[in-house]
Amino acid sequence: MNALRALAKKPWFGPLLALIVVYLLFLMWTPDTFARPITLITMARQTVVVGTAAVGMTLVILLGGIDLSVGSLVALTTVITARLLQNGMSAASAAMVGIFAATAIGAINGGLIVGLRVTPFLITLGTMSILRGAAKGLADEQKIDAPTRGLEMLMTTGPNRSWMIVPPGVWTTLLLAGIFAAVLHFTVFGKHAKAVGSNERTARLAGIQVGRIKVYTYAIAGFLAGIAGIFELSTLTVGDPTDSIGLELSVIASVVIGGGSLAGGQGSIVGALLGALLMTVIRTGSTQVGLPNWVQEILTGAIIIVATGIDSARQRKPA
Amino acid sequence: MTRLLFDNVTKSFGATRALRGVSFEAKPGSVHAIVGENGAGKSTLMNILAGAVKPDSGTITVDGAPHTPKDPQQARDAGVAMVHQELSLCTHLTVAENIVLGVEPSRFGVLNRRAIQETAQKALAEVLPQTPGGDDSGGITPGAKVSDLPPSARQLVEIARAISHPACRVLVLDEPTSSLTSHDAARLFQVIHKLRDKGLTILYISHFLEEVMAIADRYTVFRDGVTVASGNVADTSVNDLVEKMAGRRGEEVFPPRTKRSPGEEVVHIEHLAGKVRPVDVSLSLRRGEIVGLFGLVGAGRTEFFRALFGLDPIKNGSIKVGSFLGPASPSTRLSQGVGLLSEDRAAEGVALSLSISDNIVMSALRRLSKWGFFLPKTHELEASRWVERLSIKTSDATLPVSSLSGGNQQKAAIARLLCRDVDIFLLDEPTRGIDITSKTQIYKLLIDLAAKGKAVLVISSYLPELLGICDRIAVMSRGTLGPLHEVGGLREEDLLREALGA
């Protein structure tokens, strides 16, 4: 009983419950398709890009910030990597350079926020546009059809790798989520980030180098957006400068559904992944049962409001 | 004749009995002081009067009519208005807009600008001294933006707002002087007396007993949710009030003085100046001594600490900490052994949403980790050691620090410095707004620290406290720090005079 109560206190308990309920609902509606392993695997695969970016966004939101440029950064990464593949670079090297560039851009986001003392919302609103423009320029405003050189394997299990159950991209996302959840719980950096998000003035007073923590955090968010970009490229098999428009909103929604607070100091990586998965389930389920696109959008929006409303009510309840 | 009557009012929050039997009456045309330690039930009383909380039993009447408001607006309509400790004005609006906020004169939703102006003008006339030429208005005009006004002026605007309601009969002031200089406080007292003479009942809640003695006509003492005594201020004394509040004698608050012998110099400051404040600070601090900094609010004591600790830029002068010379960032200062306790506990001193444990270990994470990694358990163990050492009242160090009372939050903030093992303590108003028990514990702790060879620099606006624990005291006035005085034979009057620049 106590263990159950402790479980209910976890920030990701709400989204987990919602996920189970929504899944069961669609399962009852279309039992023959929704229980099939292929549906589950497809949904996992479709969550990878948002999920990976949401891990980074959780850190940023925990820090009390926000990153609106993540969608543009994902698109830019697909373009950079595709260009390199086109020029004959190997898949591993091209992906590495793409991820490195995204990490550097994340660090620049952080540097601008710290250096100019402008709110993250405005800085990343600016870089959102700059990066989108840069992606279009680099791609000559068209899709880059490059040889993927095995990069597409990230998102498929293939005929002779069925022992993997889900594609390597899904495993990578889970691994990254595990690593960064551990960073939050067991490292000085994680503790410092949470302290900055909770009360920046107290953190400064306690000797925490607030600026440095911010730059690191945005760099990590850039790194994860870069990896999400590689996954996106692996799915699309082209570098697309107009891809992932509005992705930042799905990513932020995942984090918020997962218990993150835009006021900072609160956020759960497990919760964010569950939030991302919840949105995929709603999208897939609605398609399966034949609900039109506009109904899906209304449903997703309603889930965000209900989830954050419940969370807010839970916070207000006296201990 | 009775204006306000409390008859055996009780209120419980879960298992906590906040009010266990509150009975007193206040007369029209009088200043009635409410005194008591933190947690004695004063704020619950306020919340009931304002309609934010409903009592469990008992009755409250205003001029004979039962007072059962559902929200602050209803309370105002019933004639009871509050001025809270944390001022609640909208700083982007003008003085006039604030005064009529929520009761804007309008017709069909369109504001009646002239009526707003008149209401504001009338209310302001009540709270501003009637000097011909209006030199002492402090810039308070109906059109002035609140953000341009100093705290003392904002307070007067808030009072004007409270009394602008035609029904206003009872005015509740919660710690009105806590952020005022003594000059501004004196002006506030004039306003209070003027309002009293017009027949208003003023409930005056304050920690400063000297002030209560000076301004109030009657008093009621709260202790543990019960009204233990009421009477005429003329028939009591500060010591008598303290005794009633705490159930013990006032002198016991300060631990006995022990002989301390200061050691080597650890901080040497010459002609330090910040952007605006401080203007000129020279100071030498030695191991094993407690040095007090007295001054009026706004004299620049906090700014001096912030410049020294690296939170604010330095314009001029030199700082030497141990063997380190020159300015440094807060994290460097901490590694030099300097720790700062903020005067603003809620906004800076502690991170309210973090756990007690996280707050305590925040500055010591490098020591408590290896290669940047740690086990959460080690933090909780470390924190629980300090919880015990400082008798922080909690059942669980993993609870948020906001679950603690003010005094215990302050102890957690001090524990952060101890956990980091700093050598030089910069303490800014360490006992402001906390209960007597916590105060006594903090005094004892400071004396222990000095005995162990730590250097303690403490800012306080409460003279008896500085005289009770310090070895030397310096006074800051208009940004300039005066010479250090040995405490022996020092009188409150002398320090106050120096602070006023008289």
Tell me which long-range contacts A201-204 makes (C-beta under 8 A, separation of at least 24): A201/B342, A201/B347, A201/B348, A202/B342, A202/B348, A202/B349, A202/B350, A202/B351, A202/B359, A202/B362, A203/B351, A203/B362, A204/B311, A204/B330
Residues of chain B neighbouring A208 (CB-CB closer than 8 A): 331, 362
Radius of gyration of chain A (CA): 20
% of chain A beyond a pLDDT of 90: 67
More confident: B204 or B105: B204
Distance in angstroms (rounded) separating the CA atoms of residues B158 and B164: 10
Q: What class has domain B4-250?
A: alpha beta
Nearest to A198 among B311, B335, B354 (CB): B354
DSSP state of B92: T
Residues of chain B neighbouring A265 (CB-CB closer than 8 A): 351, 353-354
- Per-residue confidence band for B502, with pLDDT thresholds at 50, 70 and 90: low
Backbone torsions φ then ψ of A156, nearest 5 degrees: -130, 155
The per-type count for chain A, helices as H runs and strands as E runs, is 14, 0
pLDDT at A210: 95
Nearest to B330 among A186, A187, A207 (CB): A207
- Report ipTM (2 d.p.): 0.84
Q: How far is CA B148 from CA B53, B127, B180, B297, in A?
A: 34, 18, 16, 18
Span B265-500: which CATH code?
Answer: 3.40.50.300
What 3-state class would DSSP assign to B123?
helix
Q: Exposure of B86 by Cβ count < 10 A (0-12 exposed, 13-18 middle, 19+ buried)?
A: exposed
Note whether A314 contacts B: Cβ–Cβ < 8 A: no
* Average pLDDT along chain B: 87
Distance in angstroms (rounded) separating the CA atoms of residues A100 and A83: 15
Residues 6+ away with beta carbon under 8 Å from B135: none
Residues of chain A neighbouring B348 (CB-CB closer than 8 A): 199, 201-202, 205
Distance in angstroms (rounded) separating the CA atoms of residues B46 and B174: 8
Side-chain-facing half-sphere of A193: CA atoms under 13 Å? 30
- Are both B4-250 and B265-500 of the same fold? yes
| Mutation choice for A interface testing from B354, B370, B377, B401 by most A CBs within 10 A | B354
Residues of chain A neighbouring B334 (CB-CB closer than 8 A): 206-207
Nearest to B375 among A186, A201, A204 (CB): A186
How do residues B209-239 score in pLDDT, each as one tens digit?
788 888 999 999 988 788 988 999 999 888 7
3-state DSSP helix/strand/coil percent for chain A, to nearest 5?
75, 0, 20
- Show the 3-state SS of A163-220: HHCCCHHHHHHHHHHHHHHHHHHHEHHHHHHHHHHHCHHHHHHCCCCHHHHHHHHHHH
Note whether A212 contacts B: Cβ–Cβ < 8 A: no
More confident: A7 or B38: A7
Distance in angstroms (rounded) separating the CA atoms of residues A154 and A141: 26
Q: Do A207 and B363 touch (CB under 8 A)?
A: yes
Average pLDDT over residues B333-361: 94
* Average pLDDT along chain A: 91
| Mutation choice for B interface testing from A63, A183, A198 by most B CBs within 10 A | A198
Distance in angstroms (rounded) separating the CA atoms of residues B176 and B185: 8
Name, of A121-125, B198-202, B251-255, the range with top average pLDDT: A121-125
How do residues B51-81 score in pLDDT, each as one tens digit?
888 899 999 999 989 999 988 888 988 999 8
Residues 6+ away with beta carbon under 8 Å from B262: B286, B287, B288, B289, B471
Note whether A318 contacts B: Cβ–Cβ < 8 A: yes
CB atoms within 10 A of CB B115: 14
Chain B nearest-CA residue for A202: B348
Cα angle B415-B420-B422, degrees, rounded to a multiple of 5: 95
Name, of B179-188, B252-261, B281-290, the range with top average pLDDT: B281-290
Cβ-contact A123, A60 below 8 angstroms: no
CB atoms within 10 A of CB A27: 15
pLDDT at A1: 60
pLDDT at A175: 97
Note whether A235 contacts B: Cβ–Cβ < 8 A: no
pLDDT at B11 over 70: yes
- Per-residue confidence band for A46, with pLDDT thresholds at 50, 70 and 90: very high
Note whether B362 contacts A: Cβ–Cβ < 8 A: yes
- The packing angle between helices A91-116 and A120-138, to 10°, is 150
How do residues B419-431 score in pLDDT, each as one tens digit?
999 999 999 999 8
Q: Exposure of B200 by Cβ count < 10 A (0-12 exposed, 13-18 middle, 19+ buried)?
A: buried
How do residues B389-410 score in pLDDT, each as one tens digit?
999 988 889 999 988 888 899 9
Q: How far is CA B281 from CA B272, B295, B474, B479, B501, in A?
A: 5, 13, 10, 8, 16
pLDDT at A319: 40
| Mutation choice for A interface testing from B302, B344, B362 by most A CBs within 10 A | B362
Q: Do B334 and A207 touch (CB under 8 A)?
A: yes
User: Nearest C-alpha of chain B: how many angstroms from A64?
Assistant: 13
Q: How far is CA A29 from CA A21, A23, A26, A34, A287, in A?
A: 12, 10, 5, 9, 12
pLDDT at B245: 76
Q: Do A188 and B365 touch (CB under 8 A)?
A: yes
Q: Do B333 and A266 touch (CB under 8 A)?
A: no
Structural domain spans, chain B: 4-250, 265-500
pLDDT at A95 over 70: yes
Distance in angstroms (rounded) separating the CA atoms of residues B197 and B260: 52
